Amino acid sequence: MAKIENGAFSTNLITSGTVITGDITCDSDMRIDGVLAGNLTAKGKIVIGKTGNVKGEINCQNCDIEGKVEGKLSIKDLLSLRATAKFIGDIVATKLAIEPGAIFTGTCKMNGEKDASVEKK
């Protein structure tokens, strides 16, 4: 979360019923319960709620998906696909958690430190 002047934390919110076409960039966390057709870049955590629907690229530190996402995900740390998630596309992440019931169609590349230490035979 991004700290604001009074010590509180800020989270951007796209509520259910809101439709945005275009790219979004933010320095804090973001929660989407509406629809986004475009790319989303955040320095913090992104949460796609159960009613959220994103079509585009997502780049962030951490991401929780409960709704629908179609596109490419580039997650620096942890991606969590919750039981209600429906994801179609490509994932690049350091850590991945998929709950039973989640739908994932696409490819995944883990880019953690373990890749460098794997011995080839």
> What pLDDT, in 10s, does the model give residues 73-98?
999 999 999 999 999 999 999 999 99
Contacts of 97 (CB under 8 A, 6+ apart): 78, 79, 80, 81
Read off the pTM: 0.84
> What pLDDT, in 10s, does the model give residues 3-31?
445 555 578 999 999 999 999 999 999 99
Q: In this predicted structure, what is the pLDDT of residue 104?
A: 96
Could you tell me the CA-to-CA distances from 86 to 13, 50, 58, 63 in Å, in that order?
Answer: 20, 10, 15, 14
> What pLDDT, in 10s, does the model give residues 26-74?
999 999 999 999 999 999 999 999 999 999 999 999 999 999 999 999 9
- Distance between CA atoms of 8 and 34, rounded to whole angstroms? 25
Q: How far is CA 90 from the centre of its chain?
A: 12
